[in-house]
Structure 1
Amino acid sequence: MPAGVARWTNGPAARYPAAKIEKSSFARHMTALTQYQRLEASGLWRAAPDAQRRDVIVSIGDATLTLSDMQDRPLTHWSLPAVHRLNPGARPALFAPSDAPDEGEVLEIEDSEMIAAIEKVRRAVEKSRPHTGRLRVILTSTVLALALVFAVLWLPGALLRHTASVLPDVTRQSVGQRLLTRVTRVAGTPCKGRLGNRALTRLGDRVLGPGVAQLAVVSAGVATAAHLPGGIILVNRALVEDYEEPDVAAGYILAERLRAEASDPMLALLGHAGTFATAKLLTTGTISDAILDSYAEQVLLDPPVEVSTETLLARFAAVRVRSTPYAFAVDQTGETTLPLIEADPVPLTQAEPLLADADWVSLQGICFE
């Protein structure tokens, strides 16, 4: 088949340049790609304005556009809801991972089916956002008028909580992916070892449940672990490289998930953004890059919120994960984490490996692949 042409198959998928099919869960969030399962096509990718263009394999997956080299090694992941068309109507199509003015990445695609699939997602996202019109003007004017009249009674906190409660999943994921891009400018690009990422996904599925969170291992910026809107949890590479068992990383992931459950990370972002930016997000579905840049710095600097020992032990018990390795990782002496050690819900004699040995070795080498 000619290069740059995508193809669908009904049986097991062939390797590039033929198309490969894989059932996608993206339909849970939007119906734009219900007729697609997985599509691959060739493209030309430029990572920065002064970088040389590279031949890549472009594939549509679960809410992401994956760019891989010709040896099937992932180079980068773009959030599908955030993909921006640079030359509407022209061919070959030019796409960028966001509409930021300083965005330097560009992807060139010639294949018609791949272009149509990406455009369909973009149209669906656009339709899901409020559009300018008389109704929006009336509603916006009403909201602003009420905000002025009842400024004393309707506290800004109420607006923040209301906005966080009504934001759709697609908006949360889009904001989370944009924020992840800005965090990784400081923390470094997430480690992308193929086998390591597969093992990381298995660890996340084991301790949190399938598809609950998107885990990413970073080299710097995050002392241990941190979380972002959209179910994203960042893990410092030391948690998988410096310990002999995955129980330590699992403990930090559990603790970070508890923090995200206790306090909505989107609410924290809106609190940082302020009332005006929150109202804009509520009415237009957009938030500025400047606010995300500022909040990304705060996420990396803020110390983690304390999680009660009782809550931690209950979660460790629920998922059958030992708390002792995590306790000693937090405090090598064990003095401040003694309750987690003494009340460990899973005795060592009853503990089961969280990962197979091969997966644990792959996870430890995730930043070296």
Structure 2
Amino acid sequence: MAKVIDPELRRPITELGMVKSIDVAPGGDVHVEIYLTTAACPKKAEISERVTQAVADVPGTGAVRVSLDVMSDEQRTELRKQLRGDAAEPVIPFAQPNSLTRVYAVASGKGGVGKSTVTVNLAAAMAARGLAVGVLDADIHGHSIPRMMGTTDRPTQVESMILPPVAHDVKVISIAQFTEGNAPVVWRGPMLHRALQQFLADVYWGDLDVLLLDLPPGTGDVAISLAQLLPNAEILVVTTPQAAAAEVAERAGSIAIQTRQRIAGVVENMSGLTLPDGTTLQVFGEGGGKQVAERLTRAVGAEVPLLGQIPLDPALVAAGDAGVPQVLSAPDSPVGKELRRIADALSSRRRGLAGMSLGLDPTRH
């Protein structure tokens, strides 16, 4: 049973107290009873299949039967304490001094530059490398991450703790998972701030290596809230080669100067369309990404690299609509290679203790 991993919590069910009982008949038939966190657990069938397979793999096992039960309120409370501690109020784990999670806020000056496409592909590429990755869809009004990640699952709630769905080995949370159909979200600043705060504090993310936030375009309420809630987040600016788009993207990156956040780099999307004869058509001009990187470098007084230039490819759009990021569906395509190269550059920066308090007081003897 220790080999059975809960698909939502990503931990062995034996550690989570989910094994109720195991009965082995004299002939080798096995009956296993499993506790679910809630009766509406969306992964009950998958859990049952995993348990059946794990038991069937034991030599000498006969027929396997799995029964499902539901945790009591007391058991759910113990599970929540085990996972998140017994704090009276949930805290944002990524804002704590001892957090080792690298947080990237993917920003753009204007909509339509492919910011969400870049986010989901980077997340999927990092997860494929074996990293623990989460994506927070912070674009409350223009949410699109669940569709592009190919998931329609809804979060599971254990008391006040929210368990995010997992798609392509990436934990995903979005306001779209809490609304019916394609209903619009009509909220002002305070509600946007509260939603972002809940997604960061109430969601059980586990021990992530990387958290990516898909921000709304511009420098509005969510960007300001992010700076307050996650001052250690690094800004990843997405632009197109067009000069007009680059100027707007520069503004989005410049907010880091006011919030004192680090700019991780610039990604140029829709960089050029490769024609059948091998030439490249610059549909949206050229040089925008380099321009943004150079100007932000001068503005912040530190190097802001141009991390990559993603070619224009209709297959990238199709992959997003199909819910399978192109880094997974066509990893060896020019777009897939460039996105994986950018993901490697961002994820190869190891988690470390730089900048963390070691709890030492030089004045004491």
TM-score using structure 2 length: 0.26
Structure whose residues are more often strand by fraction: 2
TM-score using structure 1 length: 0.26
Structure with greater contact order relative to length (CA < 8 Å, sep ≥ 6):
2
